[in-house]
Structures are given as C-alpha cells and as structure tokens.
A and B are shown apart, each in its own frame.
Chain A
C-alpha cells in the first residue's frame, strides 16, 4: 500500500505540438480508489501508462510511496495492471497466467501455489485453473486478469478500462466484483475509464480530464452536484445536463432568467450568489433532466408559478425504471425525466418548470460555473 504523487506531469509525444498531459498535479492517498475519467484522447490512459512505466515522462516527477519512480523500470515499481483486452498469455493455462509474475520473481513453488489458489478462490475461478484463456468467456478472462494482478500483492493497482470489452450485464456484475475486491484489499487503485457510470459508482474520488488538463477532482457526489464547468456538467450524468442560453434581467426588483421565448424567476437565494456583473449579460443555464418538474401540483407551488416553459413532446424514451421526454420549444431542446407510468404522447403540448433552486449558471465565455 502506498500513496501516489503526480508532481506537475507533462507528456508530449515526439512530433506532436500539443501536450497529451498538461501539468497534472495530484496526490492519491494510500488506499484510495481514484477514477480518471474523460473522453478518448484526454490523456487519462497516457497518465496511467506513465505511472506503470510503459511511457516516458516528459516533465515532472511521479512518486510511489516516498520513492521517485521516473527512472525505475515497470517490474520494479511494485504495481500491477489490468488491461482492457485482458492481455492474458494465450499459450499458458489460467494457473500459469496467474503464477507467471511470481515465477519470474523466483518465489518458492509452495508459496506460488498457495497464492494462486487463494487468488482463484477470491475470484471464484478455481475450476478454470487448467483451462486456456481461449476456452473462457470475456468475464472469466477478466477475472483471470484480476487474479494475475492481485496475486503479486502490489502497492498500487492500475486498471485501464477493464470493463470496456464486456457486455452490459457482465459489466455491472464485474463493477460490483471490483468494488468488493477493493474493499477487501484496501490497496490504492487507479482506474481509467471513459464511462461516467463506472466513475460515479466505483471511485472514492473522480478526476475528470479533458485535453490533458484536469477539469475537476472531487467525490462522485460533488462532481455530479457541483460541476465546476460546462464540460464536467455535460460529461457526468446521463442524459447530459441541458444547457439553455439567455440573459439575466431585473424587472421590478425581481431577478429573471430571460430567453427569447420564456422568462424564469430566479429565487432570492440563488440571486445572491449571482454576481452583480452578470446582470444584463448573456449567461448559460444548466438544468439536469431530473430537475424539471411537470406535474400540476408541483407547478402550482409558489416558486414554480413564475418559471414555466411551454414545450412540445418530441420523443418519449422508455427506459423501464424511468422515461425520458425530449421536449421542443422552437429552437430550444430539453430532456427531462418523468415517471414511467405517466402517459405522454409524442406531439403533445406540455408545461414544465425547472427547479430554479437546483439549476446551475455558467459563464458563456469561460464555461466556468458561476453558481
């Protein structure tokens, strides 16, 4: 077990002008489950590979524990890694795959056997130990890959999109397994994914990256509820946050968010957070699908009386536990979550109201959150 410290890491591939990782500075505490998430090409895998010693570090220093590992080879960093395509040795049995790393470290045979069996028990792959990887399903292979990683009892676990090759059902199952494994081992884990659901459900802390730059580092809850900019707000959460551009105006002492087609009253509490300099300026409002209300008793409430939008139901998507309505108001589009039991027909007119206590406001130029 060890902490990991990234100290102002830069990575530039030869022949490329852009930095793949730009001034990445972060300390990962001992025993933390850190998830790096971002769209493809955001540098998250590069970062992991630099930590693993598979990629040179252009600038900066990486520490595992108190040791600077920039010039330490992969095998001496005491890490293990799980790859997206499992990377099992195809010519070796499951047992040999798991034992390979231990054999290379010249461990005693009895000890190897004991550790392999123990790992196999944890991952419930005891009955496959004599099979070849090609005789197993994707989920089983990923378990073997996990077994290979845990058997060495490393200081840090690295996982590079380990669930991307699995089908949806298995992914959910393996997500749970990895979570269980983490709680059991309590070792530092660094997990790379492009799937925000994995990030939200697994990590104790999430790093959202874009273009090699950290956007936000926070707990899953905070990332979701308090995104620092429009990118994080739209990347985390499904369906993504709705963005509406408009203007802040003050009429008769009341503060409103005004678009071409509707005006929404901003409650006093939010207004105080909005800085004076945005009054009369263009601004972007973000609202999540679940924060739009539509039932008549909700709309009757005082705070919604002056925050109504007339829309037309364009598409209704039934997800089982939820349903989503894709609403249209001329040039504005909104996605909202509704109770799956309600009946809304496509083409029907619908009055909705965003929960103005929970909307976010963003600066249209910097895309940073205002409140």
Chain B
C-alpha cells in the first residue's frame, strides 16, 4: 500500500512540476518531430505485414491501403500449394537458406572477430596497410565487383555448391571494422592478466575477448544475417542447380515474368513477410547490444 501511495505522490509531484515549470518548447517540438519520424519509418513494416494478409482484390486496390480490411490466410495457403506443385519443394529452398545463412553468420563473426583482435591488440608488419585495405573495400558497391567475384568463384571450383553462397559473404569489412572499434576499448591489462594467468592466444581470444565483446558479436551477426538471408546474388550468378538455390531467389521468381502475375502478387507478399520476419525477430532480440556497439564505434 505504502509503495502505491509513494508512487501516487511522486506522480502528483511530477504533474505539479510540469504545471509550474515553463514549457520547454524545444523539447516538445523535438518530441513531436521524432514521434512523426518514427511513425513514418514504421509505415513500410505495417505495409509488409498487412499486405501478406490481404485478399486478392485488396492487393490491387487503388489507391492502395495500408491496412487489410478483410484479413485472410489465403496467400499463405497459395504459397504452400504452389510450392508443392513445383519439382523443388519450398522446404528445400528454405533449408538451403537456413543452412547457408547459419554457416555464413558463424564464419563471418568468427573471422571478423579474429581479424579485428589481431589488428587491435597485436603488432605485425603491414597491419595498418591491411586495415586500410579493408576500410577501402567498404567503399566498393557490390555491383562493381560482380565480375571479378564470378571469376574468383569459378576458378576456385565452387560453382554450384553451398560454398558459393557462403564464401562471398564471409569476408565482411564492416564486421572487422566494428569489432575492431570494440576490441580497442578492452584494456590491454585484461589480456595481459590472462597471459599471466596462463592463457595462450586462442584461449585469450575465446575466453576473454569474445565474451567481453558480445554486443559487437551480436551486431556483426545481425548484419551478416541480413546480408545473407535476403540476398539473391549468389543464387543468380553462382548456382545453376535449382535444388541449391535459396529462398529469396524463389520468392523473386514468384513475381518474375514466368509466374502468374496476379496470383503471384499474393504469394509474393506472403513470402516477403516470411523472409522479413526472421530479420525483425533477430533485431528485436539483439537491439540493445546493437545500440551499444554503435555507441562505441561512433557510427550512427
């Protein structure tokens, strides 16, 4: 009871103070402005979710509506029915995506972290040159390197294998950069203490460095996941065998030329939502850690 009362009192005091003090117009306008911006940013999400539940006639309504008026699961049913009709089942695409994304995320995180640890805490000849190269590689648009990449993949002989989904994404300059910013913050004494305690390099890395930069690990994992999960590039260029292609590629074909343009819209909407949802879930799970990393690295 007393806690309740105290809460009430505090609230009353707060209201009193609010009434007494002069209104801070900057704060109020910033609050309103940011709220509007947040709502605006939210619109696409609302649209994607609602679109998947719209019946066919609503999908093509003009002007388009954000909210589904008569929500239905028809599109999802169509997605699975359509998938069953094809020679390659939907589940195969799904498995390909989950598998390659899983391996990509794990490998990208591990390799970025190891590289970042070396750049941050070890001195070796040419380290600044190599780090410079990594930063420069951040500036290339993916389209610019499609052909060299294709040649590389083909020369490596990993065309038409799962590797061709994984390798191109494992080298992740952003990951190295973010992790390095984070590892830079770890005091050297921590690593030296572990050395004196008897840890060798690998032990220091996975018992001390990795756990301490968990927020950065989570951030890089999310970025790697988003890159890998929704990309169609590798399926388009490096894989000709249908059974090795990934889910986003399949979704893209639904709306593409060959498929039924009208029914395809509904299926595509449902499939888009299914591709989008894991992104959202993972981001919601790790968002605090991501914000921490961004604050550390000075990137916004």
Contacts and interface: CB of A to CB of B under 8 A. Distances in A.
A101 B198 contact: yes
B208 interface: yes
Interface of A: prevailing SS: loop
Given A83-B189, A85-B187, A104-B203, A90 B212 contact: yes
A121 interface: no
A79 B192 CA distance: 12
A101 B203 CA distance: 11
B189 A87 contact: yes
Q: How large is the interface on B (under 10, 10 to 19, 20 to 34, 35 or more residues)?
A: 10 to 19
B113 to A, nearest CB: 15
Contact of A81 (B193, B199, B203, B211): B193
Contact of B196 (A81, A84, A85, A105): A81
B187 A87 contact: yes
Contacts of A79: 196
B189 to A, nearest CB: 4
Interface string A332-356: 0000000000000000000000000
A73 B187 CA distance: 20
B204 to A, nearest CB: 10
B291 interface: no
Contact of B190 (A81, A87, A101): A87
Nearest to A90: B212
Contact of A91 (B193, B195, B211): B211
A84 to B, nearest CB: 7
Interface string B189-220: 11011111111100100011001101000000
Interface string A83-117: 11101111100000000110011000000000000
A141 interface: no
A80 interface: yes
Given A90-B212, A91-B212, A105 B198 contact: yes
| Of listed B187, B194, B196, B214, residue having the most chain A CB within 10 A | B196
B119 to A, nearest CB: 19
B199 A89 contact: no
Contacts, number: 59
A52 B198 CA distance: 12
Contact of B193 (A53, A73, A83, A105): A83
A68 interface: no
A75 B195 contact: yes
Interface residues of A, number: 23
Contacts of B203: 104
A54 B191 CA distance: 10
A148 interface: yes
A83 B197 CA distance: 13
A148 B192 CA distance: 13
A7 interface: no
A200 B232 CA distance: 71
A39 to B, nearest CB: 21
B205 to A, nearest CB: 13
Interface in B102-160: none
Contacts of B200: 75
A90 to B, nearest CB: 6
A100 B197 contact: yes
A152 B198 CA distance: 10
A91 B212 CA distance: 6
Nearest to B123: A14
A234 interface: no
A333 to B, nearest CB: 41
Nearest to B214: A91
B263 to A, nearest CB: 52
A74 interface: yes
Interface in A156-192: none
A105 B194 CA distance: 12
Contacts of A74: 192, 195-196
Given A90-B212, A104-B203, A84 B189 contact: yes
A87 B197 CA distance: 12
A13 to B, nearest CB: 12
A67 B125 CA distance: 32
B148 to A, nearest CB: 38
Contact of A104 (B190, B198, B214): B198
Contacts of A84: 189
16 contacts: A52-B192, A54-B192, A75-B195, A75-B196, A80-B197, A81-B192, A81-B193, A87-B193, A89-B208, A91-B211, A91-B214, A100-B199, A101-B198, A104-B198, A104-B199, A105-B198
Interface of B: 187, 189-190, 192-200, 203, 207-208, 211-212, 214
Interface of A: 52-54, 73-75, 79-81, 83-85, 87-91, 100-101, 104-105, 148, 152
9 residue pairs, one from A and one from B, having the closest CB atoms:
A101-B197, A87-B189, A87-B193, A104-B198, A75-B198, A83-B189, A91-B211, A74-B195, A74-B196
